[in-house]
Structure 1
Amino acid sequence: MEKLYQILALAGVISYWLLVAAVTIRVVVKRRAVSVSLAWIMIIYILPFVGVICYFLFGELNLGRTRAERAKQMFEPYGEWFTQLQQCQAHQPKLLNLQLSQIHDICTNRTSIPALCGNTLSLQDTPDKILLSIIRDIEGATESIRIEFYIWQNGGLIDSVNAALVQAAKRGVKIQILIDSAGSPKFFRSHWYSLMRTSGIDVREALAVNAFRMFFRRLDLRLHRKIITIDDQVGYTGSMNMVDPIYFKQDSGVGQWIDVMVRVTGPTVNILAAIHAWDWEVETGERHLPTFPVCTIETNGALHPIQVVPSGPGMPDHLIQQVLALAINQAQHSVRITTPYFVPSDILLQVINMTAQRGVTVELIIPKKNDSLLVNWASKSFFTELLNAGVKIYQFDGGLLHTKSVVIDQQYCLIGSVNLDMRSLWLNFELTLAVDDDEFTKELYWVQQTYIEQSHLIDSNEWQKRSLFHRALERLFYLFNPLL
């Protein structure tokens, strides 16, 4: 009997190491950043069994067979819809400045989505401004409302949003709401969810989380976009989830979440509606593309061009990373970045460092306290390299700075849902706007300045004096880069 146990134990050990060897080979042959591959190999070997399980769950971008096949089939018809926009009056590529023109070129070549002119933009930088504006627009809706968010949490002004949606549905407005399953579990158990459904609102749970699906789809692949379109005339996007910060994560010890949203009118709203339609079809198989817009602009008016840049499974790989790298690399005078989660790819890190080394003023504003312990320590592992390159790092102390924005030369900007971490750049469904609007960009720059005024500038000499324990934690958590 003892020999049998020994044989079984030996067989188990051999089987496990064969499995580890097979997974290691798979990690190596997958085309990805060398640092990511090395980090996965470290996790697999340092954490026996756990590392292998983590790789099966989180190691590869797996949307699931049904969704992946659906997304592949959708790409051509959606591309044709976007291509039609290139023929409308609002598409004026020859009038774009050089910087946005290059971003436009890469987006049209890879997704067929053009930059469109004739928009109006309003930057909303407080929860009350954002939510009260959304409520007013919902109350004025007559035909359709499309919404998608990562987190939807009831309470405070969100209850007023919910009530406005229920009333709109009773008026006969067609409402489609797509909410991420992992981000909003409490909402799907709430009375508001039931009331919306009984009122005729079509509410769907995106990327449902359960034990069975873990074997067929990567669990941490999330719908992270924030989109609202109303009657295909008014749109919202940005960094804020559908939450009232006064009632959201008050016990997390990081303070109130700080966000901005952009209210847009004009031809670009139809692109936002089409992105919602894409996500809806990936999840449900139902096609609800918006009607083709009448893209006219006033010939004597300002152009206000906007390039919509989406990313996620089924869409061209690394598009937002390419746009970010291109925009930062074009800077001549200044780059100012805000992000709550800073764990950049090697490519973005090199671009940021090189830009600072060219003599461009590069400022990075991140929260001092973070709701993710892993990210908080992993971010710090980049500080020495950034400081040595001349990057100014500010730690915001007025709450959890959740705004995701980049302002280039105070002339144009990027704003949306995209964090500067591997999850946003490689994994999630994300959205950002590249905006060439002088007044809007200056307003965003001013908002970023208010963040700096509530921040502490890290001194390079002081940073070098941190303890060995501090440095060890940075390197330890950096190893978990693929999971962040």
Structure 2
Amino acid sequence: MNTFYNSAKCLVSFVYWLFIANTTFRSFTQRRSLSSFISLLLTIYIIPSFGVSIWLFCGEFYLEKKHQKIANRIRYISNKCLDELKTYKNIFQNKNSEVANSIFQLCKNRQGIYGIKSNSLELLTNTKKTIQLLIRDIRLARTNIEMVFYIWQPGGLADDVAIALINSAKRGIHCRLMLDSAGSIKFFRSPWVKIMREAGIEVVEALKINFLRFFLKRIDIRQHRKIVLIDNYITYTGSMNLADPFLFKKSLGLGQWIDLMARIEGPVAMTMGIVYSYDWENETGCKILPSLPDKKILKNDLNNMTSNIQVIASGRGFPDNMIHQALLTAIYSARKELIITTPYLVPSEDLLHAICKASKRGVNVSIIIPLYHDSILVKWASRAFFSELLDSGVKIYQFKKGVLHSKSILVDQQLSLVGTANFDMRSLWLNFEITIAIDDSIFGNKLANIQYQYISDSELLDKKTWSMRAYWTRILEKIFYFFSPLL
């Protein structure tokens, strides 16, 4: 009996350490940031079971041959679509403001397209009013409606959007809805899926989580984009999920979620549509492409719309690290003022250094984050960066009136970045995200007014008070900082 027990114990131990050795080897073969690699490797050996679990969930960068072929095919088709769009020469902006020139050149060289002008933008800060405006546009749609959200939570105003979408489908509008599997789990367990499909709406569960996926591919990569495209001319994007603000995560008792969305009319919707077509074909294998804008409409718009926009997307089929590079470029372009709004502040070393250097060279740098968090891990990990930021002269504001979920950057009140990406590793390296870069001082002034309102509803973190915080909190910060490259 003892012989059997000892043999079984040795076998289990051998298999266990063989698995750890294999994990280590495969970690060495992957190209990742040094801090992320070291954190993962140390975790594997300090706490083997926990480290291997993290690797299973987060460590592998799978890109199956099937998906690679799809990505290559979509890239070829979308390039043809972009070539056709380039025949509309009057919509492209060849010259940018000094502060925006670097980021627009980066996007042109890496994405193959100039910034698109002749767009009308509206900043939306009230989620209830945003959803009501969205419902109006859905009801007025003439040809097609495409949507992608990370979270669709049934109930309240979200049900009103569902009803409007169903009614539009019934009157012949082609409607497509793509939702993240994990983020929208409540939706996929609700009756709305069947009701919508019966009405003719194409509903797709993106990056579906199932038992087989757990063993064959990463399950932590999420479809985090928020895009609405109507008639290939009106588009929405920003931080808002499709959920009633009075009901969303109400059980946490943190207050209402504060979001920021941009509603855009103009030819930039075409490039947003190309991003959507990438995601749709990746999930379904079906090819869709947005229609080219009407030249007569564009001719009229050239005299009325001025905003110059670049669409920046991340994920399979898009240039690697594009959003991360765009953020770095924007920060290094700042000369006078830099305001960052983010719910999750766990920056890469490059971003952290860029922000600190901006402050040290005389830029007035402000970071606005929520005082109340829905993620304990991120809350404590972000605190580990406060000291270095404060020592560099960065002002950190903690928003008190609800959960600040807005994601925006404003550089010298001229260059604005609005979208779905957080200042954390997940958004920068893993998730499917989208950001729009806007070169427009009028829009910049509007965004500045919103951010200044956030600041007035926040409390400034005092450097002296922060330095006197309890010792046990410093220990927790260091522990969570250790895992920050993996968050």
Determine the C-alpha separation between the residues in 1 that align with 2:271 and 2:34.
35
Q: CA deviation at 1:60?
A: 2.3
Determine the C-alpha separation between the residues in 2 that align with 1:29 and 1:191.
45
- Of 458, 462, 467 in structure 2, the residue corresponding to residue 459 of structure 1 is 462
Deviations for 1:68-89, whole angstroms, at most 9, x for unmatched residues?
A: 3312332222123223333323
Determine the C-alpha separation between the residues in 2 that align with 1:382 and 1:435.
28
Residue number in structure 1 paired with 2:234:
234
Q: CA deviation at 1:195?
A: 1.2
* Correspondence 1:65-464 to 2 at 5 A: 65-294=65-294, 296-297=298-299, 298=301, 300-464=303-467
SS in 1 for 2:94: helix
349-358 vs 21-30, which moves further: 21-30
SS in 2 for 1:116: strand
Deviations for 1:344-376, whole angstroms, at most 9, x for unmatched residues?
A: 111111111111111101100000111011000
Aligned amino acid, residue 331 of structure 1:
A
Q: CA deviation at 1:65?
A: 4.4
Deviations for 1:114-148, whole angstroms, at most 9, x for unmatched residues?
A: 31000000011101220111011001011100000
Q: Is the 8 A contact 2:128 2:245 kept in 1?
A: no
20-29 vs 177-186, which moves further: 20-29
Aligned residues: 484
Determine the C-alpha separation between the residues in 2 that align with 1:64 and 1:244.
37
Q: Is the 8 A contact 1:225 1:430 kept in 2?
A: yes
SS in 1 for 2:178: strand
Determine the C-alpha separation between the residues in 2 that align with 1:65 and 1:89.
37
Q: Is the 8 A contact 2:94 2:115 kept in 1?
A: no
TM-score normalised to the size of structure 2?
A: 0.96
Q: Is the 8 A contact 1:43 1:479 kept in 2?
A: no
Aligned amino acid, residue 238 of structure 2:
G
Determine the C-alpha separation between the residues in 2 that align with 1:150 and 1:476.
29
SS in 2 for 1:335: strand
Deviations for 1:16-46, whole angstroms, at most 9, x for unmatched residues?
A: 2233233223323422211101110122122
Gaps of 5+ in 2: none
- 2:475 is aligned with 1:478: no
Q: Is the 8 A contact 1:90 1:116 kept in 2?
A: no
Determine the C-alpha separation between the residues in 1 that align with 2:228 and 2:427.
20
SS in 1 for 2:9: helix
297-306 vs 390-399, which moves further: 297-306
Determine the C-alpha separation between the residues in 2 that align with 1:122 and 1:251.
32
Q: CA deviation at 1:316?
A: 1.2
Determine the C-alpha separation between the residues in 1 that align with 2:332 and 2:195.
49
Q: Is the 8 A contact 2:20 2:48 kept in 1?
A: no
Q: CA deviation at 1:313?
A: 2.3
Judged with a 3 Å threshold, the aligned counterparts in structure 2 of structure 1 residues 102 and 79 are, in CA distance, closer, same or farther, namely farther
Aligned amino acid, residue 199 of structure 1:
A
Determine the C-alpha separation between the residues in 2 that align with 1:139 and 1:220.
35
Deviations for 1:449-479, whole angstroms, at most 9, x for unmatched residues?
A: 1111111111111111111110111111122
Q: CA deviation at 1:14?
A: 3.4
Q: CA deviation at 1:274?
A: 1.6
Aligned amino acid, residue 483 of structure 2:
F
Determine the C-alpha separation between the residues in 1 that align with 2:113 and 2:433.
15
Q: Is the 8 A contact 1:395 1:457 kept in 2?
A: yes
SS in 1 for 2:223: coil
Gaps of 5+ in 1: none
- Alpha-carbon RMSD across the aligned residues, in angstroms, is 1.6
Deviations for 1:53-78, whole angstroms, at most 9, x for unmatched residues?
A: 32022112225443333123322221
Q: CA deviation at 1:299?
A: 5.2
TM-score normalised to the size of structure 1?
A: 0.96
SS in 1 for 2:307: coil
Aligned amino acid, residue 107 of structure 2:
C
Q: Is the 8 A contact 1:83 1:113 kept in 2?
A: no
Determine the C-alpha separation between the residues in 2 that align with 1:353 and 1:424.
21
Determine the C-alpha separation between the residues in 2 that align with 1:477 and 1:72.
38
Determine the C-alpha separation between the residues in 2 that align with 1:241 and 1:46.
38
Q: Is the 8 A contact 1:181 1:205 kept in 2?
A: yes
Q: Is the 8 A contact 2:93 2:117 kept in 1?
A: no
Q: Is the 8 A contact 1:153 1:248 kept in 2?
A: yes
Judged with a 3 Å threshold, the aligned counterparts in structure 2 of structure 1 residues 92 and 271 are, in CA distance, closer, same or farther, namely closer
242-251 vs 51-60, which moves further: 51-60
Identity percentage over the alignment? 43
Q: Is the 8 A contact 2:91 2:118 kept in 1?
A: no
332-341 vs 271-280, which moves further: 271-280
SS in 1 for 2:145: strand
Residue number in structure 2 paired with 1:58:
58
SS in 2 for 1:342: coil
- 2:51 is aligned with 1:48: no
Q: CA deviation at 1:111?
A: 2.2
Determine the C-alpha separation between the residues in 2 that align with 1:269 and 1:362.
32
395-404 vs 47-56, which moves further: 47-56
Determine the C-alpha separation between the residues in 2 that align with 1:112 and 1:99.
20
Aligned amino acid, residue 188 of structure 1:
F
Q: CA deviation at 1:207?
A: 0.7
